[in-house]
Chains A and B, each alone.
Chain A
Amino acid sequence: MVSASASVPAIVLLPFVSFIIALFGREHLPKRGAFGGIAATAGSLGLSLWVLLSVRNGAAFQETYYTWATGAGAQDWTLTFGALIDPLSALMLVIVSVVAMLVHIFSLGYMNDEDERDLPRYYAGLGLFTASMLGFVIADNLLMAFMFFELVGLCSYLLIGFHFREPGPPSAAKKAFLVTRFGDYFFLVGVVAVFTTFGTAAFAGAESFPALAEAALNGEATVWTPGGLAESTWFTIVGLLVLGGVIGKSAQFPLHTWLPDAMEGPTPVSALIHAATMVAAGVYLVARMYGFYVLSPTTMAIIAFVGGFTALFAATMGVVKRELKQVLAYSTISQYGYMMLALGSGGYVAAVFHLTTHAFFKALLFLGAGSVIIAMHHNEDMWEMGGLKDKLPVTYWTFLAGSLALAGIFPFAGFWSKDEILYEALIHGLDEPLILGAYVMGLLAVPVTAFYTFRMVFLTFHGEPRSSLARDPHPVRWNIKGPLSVLGVLAVVTGGINLVPVKKVLGIKGIDYLHLWLDNHWGGIEGLSSHHYAELNPYSSQYLFGGEVPTVLAGAAVSLGLALGGLALAWVLYNVADPDEHTDKLGGIKELLYNNYYQDEFQVWVADNTRAAAGSADIFDQGVIDGVVNGVSSVSLLSSERIRRIQSGVVSNYALLLTLGLTTLLVVFGLLGGWF
């Protein structure tokens, strides 16, 4: 009997095999690659669940599979591929494979039934995308994580630009690639810095870099720092470098601009990117190496503040969008902001919780949007929809469940996770002005989120149809409804895995499963438990109104009240038969929001104004570097020509040159060695 741990590589390899099959099988495959992908992701899901169960039975492990480089001399680093299976990665494996499988099934309806061309390329991309993300999840060291992180970026490029014959997608794909690459430069420098500092990039174990960093700060170990920099300062810098990659991938301010454009990709791809793969990768990375981040209060505060700011900032932009997927795009940025806020403010479990619930309800919302888009014959403008509620009942009810979760309405999944994030930020923030600021922004984003979510729901599904397309939508099949229903259920019930407020208020022990799970209650890997992180984190907890229970209740009441307020405003403004475009009432702000605070323009402006620097770099490159290179090559070719002429073809010349050469050597070495 094969043990669960032995099957871990298969989880990654199965989608990879489907990628290979789709790549070489081309048009001969049944459903042009879809079945292979579904089978592979279903296999991965099965194995992931098995791994989850075995971790539940205390079988967490770390194993090195392949050492592909070994250093020599003083720098005896090894570069390896291995798996780290602990509660966090086991949970994430399940999330990724669930969403990937549902996205594959949904693609049958969204891509195959719509007779898209080049489908094997699409399924090959999905397979590789899934495989890369799963590989990233099991990575047991930072370098391996980086490699799969880059693969994830590459796949997103390939899939966003799937419709490369149209003008938009290739440009969006390029933008996504370049913007995230900008962040990844910092990440790469960070990986090198981790190696030079600690000599290892392992995530877990006594010799891992978080453990060594902790020991170094306690004075129990010495590590290399550049120029004798204080260890805490250097760790902050390293942490921020790696954070560069996270901010790019998880679309945090100011590198979020690629994500709305990425909507040019096919909708199932958007679902995959937003719910479980690309964007999730950034947050997952911070959670994975949380033991390192938690050592640096500065980094933590920056993470929290960036997260809180992004949550509010992105939410405001979602308010005015006309297109369904655009609203969802900004909501994704905003929700990942919440997760960063949680991580930065010491709410490790809360972040993972929100990552989980968000994966399900955001996948649901995107697939629901995909369903609407099919029905609307690929028109995404919400102002041309309306009244789809009766025509698409399954889509409507599941979409509504997802929206309630996104808006954070009790008792849907998003309520529990968002509430816990805000609670953690609040109790840790009462002494920390930065965290408190981030908390306030997170709190302010709640009503905005509820507002734009229900503006979207009402405009799309309620009221009277506002176009002929909406009056006669295209029907959708089982392969659309099936994934929606599964995710709809998950969006409702996932909150149940972590009913912390209920536990605290009513005192029922043992219903905060996720807390226990991440706290290695059922076994895990030493040093990677939420308990350990809580000991390390720099914050102290403060409570309002004289205790924990009142604080919990007050926090939940405030955030639920704000969410309901936002919902109510959307109801009043947009849940009418023929809603008006109230955005005009915003005046100048509307334009500002509509243009995304001119962030794209700002980046272009920055690019334009650094053109002088770029220009001089270019001159340096063209003139000095290329000049040297070209010079070398022309000198080389010239001297090559000379050397070539030595070979005259006359054999007596050769004999002469040979003898002369030998004589020269004899004379030189004779003189050197004193033979004469």
Chain B
Amino acid sequence: MSLVLQGTTTDWVFSVRALLPVVLLALTGLAVFGINSLRPDGRDNKLLALTSIAGTLSALAVTVWYLFAGTGQPTHGGAISLFSGAIVVDGLGLFFTAIFTSVATLVIAASYDYFETDANPASFYSLLLLSTTAMGLMAVSNSLVTVFVSLEMTSLPSYALVAYLKDNRGSVEAGLKYFLIGAVSSAVLAFGISLVYAATGSLLLPDIAAQIGSIGDLNGVLGIGIVMIAGGVAFKTASVPFHFWAPEAYEGAPAPVSAFLSSASKAAGFAVGFRVFATAFQPAIDIGIDWGLLFGILAVVTMVLGNFAAATQTEVKRMLAYSSIGHAGYALIGLAAVTAGASATNATVMGAAMAHLFVYGFMNTGAFLFIAMVERWGVGRTFEDYAGLAERAPMASLAMAVFMFSLAGLPLFGGFFSKYFLFLGAINAGFWWLAAVGAVTSTLSLFYYSRVVKALWLEEATTDLDAIGDAPTGLYAAVIVAGVVTVLLLPGFGPVIETAEAAAAALFA
């Protein structure tokens, strides 16, 4: 296979090659089904986990290869448009696919230990893989139909994943709540899409953009449609006021699922949001539909609410759930700082938001996986229960400290640069107030993140920690890998931000 994809876009082999990461993920999901149907009674946890990891890793490898080879990027002929423009493979899609597959790999590695005693892990792996597949599709959707379908494809397995612990009341309740809020949000999104179609007569994103100029007095319909689509994005990214499902779903779900939802699923929501709003709705700013301000308000409210609510939590997992909402607020700056006719600054800010999501994918996943490990040990859920864990599990606790400080944005870790570039980009785009709110809430976040570190390292154990004898290999490896990557992303942030900004620039070109 040549480094650069060439061929006619109607050729199905070419389409498969262009969508290879997504295809690989789908095939792996089917393979897991296959293994399970061949041996319905065998609990092949190891085989299933290895198959799944092989699938996500190869998808990741192909994605990274495509990214570096320039597939779908301006240097090599620009975006590859498939299926009459319903799908487009470009830098943004590949960048986000890299996030999804990385997170999925870590989560699967952790799940191997987490579901060690589960009766039928095959369904878990396949749900996870199919959800990841759909995320890959979300990232390359170029039509509102594919957006809606892939978003539903992502969500439906997620509901099942949250409710996966069938005997656990919290898990089932969280799944149901997630499903109900999801249904409301899907209705809002579908309604919004229909209004946009009514106003512009198209579902393809570039066509919508072309129609907006001649929309006439239908701008009200378009405006309502756009706000409702923004609502759909806000649901997927767990942004206020569509965030209500998140704290409970993240808390009730098995911790690996929380990691998956709060990192990958959130990123998928942003992938859709970035593409739809940058490609389709950018001209709408000129005709009085100021969705930049809309996202600005959402960003501020989300940052404030997420961080403030996180500050008073007594349980670590719930604190992380709220912190995850707060981080959605930071990433929303990428949309909020978009202004008409300023392609360069728009691309810089959006690229910074993408890079932040990339770093976030590792540090947040790692943090939730640490929780997964603690859950597996059977230690309690509150800050007090975490006291003194560092003595028993120093490496994992060190990694957790790295995640916490990186999430807070302290220098020395990847999260510092991503926040720094994001806020700097916002200031350069003239949105100093977004950067100011971001900086203030980050300061507040240091308070509750450091509580975890304090409990782990400085406080004396209050409970009997003798149970922490074993070191689950997969979980440990996932946590340590996430920690190492979080640290390495400080010196290695250059390529990430460059790739992200190039991808965003192609969107605004």
Question: Chain A residues in contact with chain B, CB under 8 A?
Answer: 72-73, 633, 636-637, 639-641, 643-644, 647, 649, 651, 654-655, 657-662, 665-666, 669-670, 672-676
Pick from B176, B180, B241, B424: contact of A662, CB below 8 A: B241
- Shortest CB–CB separation between residue A493 and chain B, in angstroms? 48
The verdict on A673 contacting B223 (CB below 8 Å), with A662-B188, A662-B228 known, is yes
Number of interface residues of B (CB under 8 A): 38
> A666 and B227: CB pair below 8 A?
yes
- Smallest Cβ-Cβ distance to B284: which chain A residue: A673
Q: What residues on B are CB-neighbors of A669 within 8 Å?
A: 223, 227, 289-290, 293-294
- Shortest CB–CB separation between residue A78 and chain B, in angstroms? 14
> A649 and B248: CB pair below 8 A?
yes
A-facing residues in B151-179 (Cβ within 8 Å): 176-177
- Shortest CB–CB separation between residue A651 and chain B, in angstroms? 5
The verdict on A636 contacting B308 (CB below 8 Å), with A654-B244, A662-B227, A673-B289 known, is yes
> A651 and B240: CB pair below 8 A?
no
How far, in whole Å, are A405 and B288 apart by their CA atoms in the complex? 85
> B288 and A658: CB pair below 8 A?
no
- Shortest CB–CB separation between residue B438 and chain A, in angstroms? 16
Q: Which of A643, A660, A666, A673 has the most CB of B within 10 A?
A: A673
The verdict on A670 contacting B220 (CB below 8 Å), with A637-B312, A640-B312, A655-B180 known, is yes
> A666 and B308: CB pair below 8 A?
no
Main secondary structure of the interface of B (DSSP, over half): helix
0 or 1 for each of B294-321: is its CB under 8 Å from A? (1 = yes): 1001000000010011111100000000
How far, in whole Å, are A592 and B113 apart by their CA atoms in the complex? 76
How far, in whole Å, are A672 and B226 apart by their CA atoms in the complex? 14
Q: What residues on B are CB-neighbors of A654 within 8 Å?
A: 177, 181, 244-245
17 residue pairs A–B, Cβ–Cβ below 8 Å: A633-B447, A636-B308, A639-B308, A640-B309, A641-B312, A644-B312, A651-B180, A654-B177, A654-B245, A655-B184, A658-B185, A662-B188, A662-B228, A666-B227, A669-B290, A670-B224, A675-B224
3 tightest A-B CB contacts, nearest first: A661-B241, A675-B220, A654-B244
- Known: A643-B308, A655-B180; 6 extra A-B contacts, CB below 8 A, are A647-B247, A654-B244, A662-B227, A669-B290, A670-B220, A675-B224
Q: What residues on B are CB-neighbors of A666 within 8 Å?
A: 224, 227-228
Q: Which of A660, A665, A676 has the most CB of B within 10 A?
A: A665
- Smallest Cβ-Cβ distance to A635: which chain B residue: B308
Main secondary structure of the interface of A (DSSP, over half): helix
> B240 and A661: CB pair below 8 A?
yes
How far, in whole Å, are A674 and B224 apart by their CA atoms in the complex? 11
> A655 and B181: CB pair below 8 A?
yes
> A636 and B231: CB pair below 8 A?
no
Pick from B176, B219, B244, B288: contact of A657, CB below 8 A: B244
> A658 and B184: CB pair below 8 A?
yes
Q: What residues on B are CB-neighbors of A676 within 8 Å?
A: 220
How far, in whole Å, are A639 and B241 apart by their CA atoms in the complex? 17
Q: Does B242 touch A at the CB level, under 8 Å?
A: yes
0 or 1 for each of B258-296: is its CB under 8 Å from A? (1 = yes): 000000000000000000000000000000111001100
How far, in whole Å, are A674 and B310 apart by their CA atoms in the complex? 37
Q: What residues on A are CB-neighbors of B227 within 8 Å?
A: 662, 665-666, 669
- Shortest CB–CB separation between residue B226 and chain A, in angstroms? 9
Q: Which of B181, B224, B309, B444 has the most CB of A within 10 A?
A: B309
Q: What residues on A are CB-neighbors of B297 within 8 Å?
A: 665
- Smallest Cβ-Cβ distance to B244: which chain A residue: A654
Q: What residues on A are CB-neighbors of B311 within 8 Å?
A: 636-637, 640
Q: What residues on A are CB-neighbors of B123 within 8 Å?
A: none
> B305 and A643: CB pair below 8 A?
yes
How far, in whole Å, are A672 and B288 apart by their CA atoms in the complex? 8
Pick from A633, A660, A665: contact of B294, CB below 8 A: A665
Q: Does B202 touch A at the CB level, under 8 Å?
A: no
Q: Which of A637, A647, A659, A674 has the most CB of B within 10 A?
A: A647
Q: What residues on A are CB-neighbors of B293 within 8 Å?
A: 669, 672
How far, in whole Å, are A675 and B288 apart by their CA atoms in the complex? 9
How far, in whole Å, are A227 and B151 apart by their CA atoms in the complex? 59
Q: What residues on B are CB-neighbors of A649 within 8 Å?
A: 248
Q: What residues on B are CB-neighbors of A644 within 8 Å?
A: 309, 312-313
Q: Does B58 touch A at the CB level, under 8 Å?
A: no
How far, in whole Å, are A639 and B306 apart by their CA atoms in the complex? 12
Q: What residues on B are CB-neighbors of A660 within 8 Å?
A: 241
Q: What residues on B are CB-neighbors of A670 within 8 Å?
A: 220, 223-224
- Shortest CB–CB separation between residue A575 and chain B, in angstroms? 61
- Shortest CB–CB separation between residue A74 and chain B, in angstroms? 12
The verdict on A72 contacting B184 (CB below 8 Å), with A637-B311, A658-B242, A662-B241 known, is no
A-facing residues in B209-254 (Cβ within 8 Å): 219-220, 223-224, 227-228, 231, 240-242, 244-245, 247-248
Q: Does B343 touch A at the CB level, under 8 Å?
A: no
- Smallest Cβ-Cβ distance to A652: which chain B residue: B180
How far, in whole Å, are A312 and B245 apart by their CA atoms in the complex? 78
Q: Does B428 touch A at the CB level, under 8 Å?
A: yes
Q: What residues on B are CB-neighbors of A647 within 8 Å?
A: 244, 247-248, 309
- Shortest CB–CB separation between residue B282 and chain A, in angstroms? 16
- Shortest CB–CB separation between residue B117 and chain A, in angstroms? 29
- Smallest Cβ-Cβ distance to A673: which chain B residue: B288
- Shortest CB–CB separation between residue B421 and chain A, in angstroms? 10
0 or 1 for each of B94-116: is its CB under 8 Å from A? (1 = yes): 00000000000000000000000
- Shortest CB–CB separation between residue B299 and chain A, in angstroms? 13
Q: What residues on A are CB-neighbors of B248 within 8 Å?
A: 647, 649
- Shortest CB–CB separation between residue B250 and chain A, in angstroms? 12
- Shortest CB–CB separation between residue B310 and chain A, in angstroms? 8
Q: What residues on B are CB-neighbors of A655 within 8 Å?
A: 180-181, 184
The verdict on A651 contacting B181 (CB below 8 Å), with A637-B312, A669-B223 known, is yes
- Shortest CB–CB separation between residue A664 and chain B, in angstroms? 8
Q: What residues on B are CB-neighbors of A674 within 8 Å?
A: 288
Q: What residues on A are CB-neighbors of B177 within 8 Å?
A: 651, 654
Pick from B185, B308, B310, B428: contact of A72, CB below 8 A: B428
- Shortest CB–CB separation between residue A179 and chain B, in angstroms? 29
Q: What residues on A are CB-neighbors of B180 within 8 Å?
A: 651, 655
